[in-house]
Chain A
Amino acid sequence: MKENQELYNYLKTVHAPQFKDDSFKKRLKNELYNIMDKTEKAKAEGKAALWKWRLTFALAGSVLVCAVILCLIFIAPELVHPSFMISSICGEVTAIYNDDQAALILGEPIAWGTTITAGEGASCDVRINRSSLLRIYERSIITLDEKENMITIQLAQGTLVAHIEKSERPFDLQLITDNCIIGIQSTTFMVKVEQDKVTQIALLEGLLSIKTDSGIADKEYILQSDQELELTLDSMEISTAPLSAEHRDALLLVKNSNFIFFTDVEKSVTCTIQPMPEDAAVYVNGQKMGRGKLSLLTDKAQEIKLKVVRQGYDLHESIIKIEEDKTFNIMLKKKNASEPSEMQTPRKQDEEIIEEHTGESNKKVISQLKGTKITIDGSINDWQPLTPVITDPRDDIKIDIPEADITRVFLAKNSDTLYACIAFARVNISDLLSIEYRILIMEQNNPILTIVILYEAKQLKTMLVVKSKDEIETVTSLIGDVASGDGFIEVAFPLRIINKYLSEGSLYSCKITSRMPKNQFITTAVDEAMLEELSY
Chain B
Amino acid sequence: MISVKNENEFIALYDDYFPKIYNFIMRTVSSPEAAEDLISDTFINALKYIKTKNVEIKNFSAWIYKIATNEVLKYLNSKRKKSTLSMDDEAAKLDKYLVDERSDKTEEFTKYWTVKQALEKLKPEEAVIVEMHFFEDKKYEEMAEILKLKETTIRTRVHRILKKLEKIIALDNRIK
**What residues of chain A have their CB less than 8 Å away from a CB belonging to chain B?**
1, 3-4, 7-8, 11-12, 14-21, 24-25, 28-29, 31-33, 35-36, 39
Contact = CB atoms under 8 A, between A and B. Distances in A.
Given A4-B159, A17-B94, A29 B14 contact: yes
B163 A3 contact: yes
B159 A17 contact: no
B64 interface: no
Given A20-B97, A32-B11, A35-B48, A4 B112 contact: no
A28 B108 CA distance: 29
Contact of B14 (A3, A16, A32): A32
B47 interface: yes
Contacts of B14: 29, 32
B120 to A, nearest CB: 15
A12 B39 contact: no
Given A4-B163, A36-B11, A17 B48 contact: no
B101 A18 contact: yes
Contact of B11 (A1, A11, A19, A33): A33
B130 A19 contact: no
A11 B97 contact: no
Contacts of A31: 40, 44
A36 B7 contact: yes
Interface in B12-36: 14-15, 18-19, 22-23, 26-27, 32, 36
A12 B162 CA distance: 12
Given A21-B97, A32-B47, A16 B162 contact: no
A25 B22 contact: yes
Contact of B98 (A19, A29, A32): A19
Interface in B90-129: 94, 97-99, 101-102, 105, 108-109, 111-112, 115
A29 to B, nearest CB: 6
B44 A39 contact: no
- For the residues of B in contact with A, the DSSP-based class is helix
A20 B19 contact: yes
Interface string B131-144: 10011100000000
A117 to B, nearest CB: 80
Nearest to B91: A17
Contacts of B162: 4, 7-8, 11
Contact of A7 (B23, B47, B105, B169): B169
B166 interface: yes
Nearest to B24: A16
Q: How large is the interface on B (under 10, 10 to 19, 20 to 34, 35 or more residues)?
A: 35 or more
A17 B44 contact: no
Given A11-B115, A14-B112, A36-B7, A19 B135 contact: no
Contact of A4 (B7, B44, B48, B166): B166
B165 A7 contact: yes
B22 A21 contact: yes
A31 B111 CA distance: 36
Question: What are the nearest 6 A-B pairs in CB distance?
Answer: A16-B135, A4-B162, A18-B99, A19-B97, A11-B134, A19-B26
B5 interface: no
A15 B40 contact: no
B94 A19 contact: yes
A6 to B, nearest CB: 8
Contact of A28 (B26, B40, B109): B40
Contacts of A39: 7, 48, 51
Given A28-B18, A33-B11, A7 B166 contact: yes
B43 interface: yes
6 contacts: A17-B108, A19-B22, A20-B99, A28-B18, A29-B18, A32-B44
Nearest to A11: B134
Contacts of A32: 11, 14, 43-44, 47
Contacts of B39: 24, 28
Given A16-B27, A28-B18, A39-B51, 4 more contacts: A11-B115, A21-B36, A28-B39, A28-B43
A25 B136 CA distance: 19
B47 A36 contact: yes
A15 B108 contact: yes
B115 to A, nearest CB: 6
B11 A15 contact: no
A154 B44 CA distance: 86
Contacts of A11: 115, 130, 134, 162
Contact of A16 (B43, B101, B112): B112
A5 to B, nearest CB: 9
Contacts of B51: 35-36, 39
A16 B135 CA distance: 5
Max count, chain B CB within 10 A of own CB: residue among A7, A17, A18, A19: A17
Given A1-B159, A25-B22, A35-B48, A17 B36 contact: no
Contacts of B135: 14, 16
A15 to B, nearest CB: 5
Contacts of A36: 7, 11, 47, 51
Contacts of B27: 16-17, 19
Contacts of B130: 11
A525 B75 CA distance: 138
B15 to A, nearest CB: 8
Contact of B23 (A3, A8, A18): A18
A12 B134 CA distance: 6
Nearest to B165: A7
B115 A14 contact: yes
A340 to B, nearest CB: 98
A323 B167 CA distance: 111
Contacts of B22: 19-21, 24-25
Contacts of A18: 19, 23, 98-99, 101
A17 B163 contact: no
Nearest to B164: A4
Nearest to B99: A18
Contacts of B165: 7
Contacts of B99: 17-20
Max count, chain B CB within 10 A of own CB: residue among A19, A25, A29, A36: A19
Contacts of B166: 3-4, 7
B101 to A, nearest CB: 7
Given A19-B26, A33-B11, A35-B44, A14 B98 contact: no
A16 B23 contact: yes
A194 to B, nearest CB: 88
